[in-house]
Amino acid sequence: MNAHSLLHRPRPGVFFAAVLLLSLHPLHGQAPDSQTFRAGATSIAIPPPAGLTETGSDYRVLLEFLAPDNNRLVAAFVLPDDWKVLHGGNAPPMSTYALAEVPRRAEFADISPEFFQQVIGTVSQQFGAIVDDSLKDQQDTMNRKLQALGSDSGTITLDKPVQLGQLFSMPDAYGFGMIMPVSAKGATTKMVMVMSVMRVRNRLLFAYFYSVFKDPGTVQSIRDTTEQWTRAILAANK
């Protein structure tokens, strides 16, 4: 097992796919009280990001579509108003949401501090290149899966992302970001994504925060929110 083999390709398609996917199915269930989730045989506490609510297992099943095949979705968070609308059987235009995932190949593996630094080194060096190289594949895969699900969203086009590089670092966590234009049915939306790569209870955890880009202040806001969320996750698992 090496650091590169554990890293999934960053998937720009998920920036817009959540809205499209959730429009396909009426959903039902109750918001969970517990904020503890499983990573292999280990329980990890994942408190919600500021202002968001965990979807619950019923919704998470549908949102598994958003995780690449070599990752497993362990938690998903949406705005409280969106959560209520979803429970009414409708799909709101989700402008902000967050996902927590673990790499399937490392889900049961103990990640040492030294190996974690190798992972971070690989992400730092190849984050932009991996995204650029995988863009067409991600676009084709997303459109194929949406078509298989009977979506009438039309063809989704992923434009070249703007890399924001490393945005923050702390012991056992590093944050990286990008801005991605996504087009569907003649409309283009710019989305901001900040990814936090963490070592939590000797497990590798990826936490993603997504939001519509409104102005340059959006990047700073999402960066700060993701950093605060990261600190909360690390503190909850001490």
The span from the CA of 200 to the CA of 236, in Å, is 10
Owning domain of residue 167 = 3-236
DSSP 200-218: ETTEEEEEEEEEE--SHHH
Contact present, 10 and 134 (Cβ < 8 Å): yes
The span from the CA of 111 to the CA of 101, in Å, is 15
Cα-based distances in Å from 41 to 1, 18, 32:
19, 28, 20
Segments in the chain forming alpha helices (H): 3-6, 14-22, 57-63, 80-87, 113-148, 216-236
In degrees, to the nearest 5, what angle opens at C-alpha 39 toward C-alphas 37 and 40? Answer: 130
The span from the CA of 94 to the CA of 118, in Å, is 35
Contact present, 117 and 224 (Cβ < 8 Å): no
Cβ-proximal residues to 217 (8 Å cutoff; 6+ apart), any chain: none
Phi then psi for residue 184, to 5 deg, are -155, 135
Which of the residues in the chain have pLDDT under 70?
Answer: 1-34, 62, 65, 86, 88-93, 127-159
Contact present, 169 and 157 (Cβ < 8 Å): no
Question: What pLDDT is stored for residue 219 in this prediction?
Answer: 94
Cβ-proximal residues to 136 (8 Å cutoff; 6+ apart), any chain: none
**Number of separate domains in the chain:** 1
The span from the CA of 80 to the CA of 219, in Å, is 22
Residue type, 237: N
Give residue-wise pLDDT tens across range 98-113: 999 999 999 999 999 9
- pTM here is 0.80
Question: What pLDDT is stored for residue 95 in this prediction?
Answer: 86
The span from the CA of 178 to the CA of 137, in Å, is 18
For tokens 């409280």, name the residue.
80
Give residue-wise pLDDT tens across range 167-203: 999 999 999 998 887 777 777 788 899 999 999 999 9
Contact present, 220 and 122 (Cβ < 8 Å): no
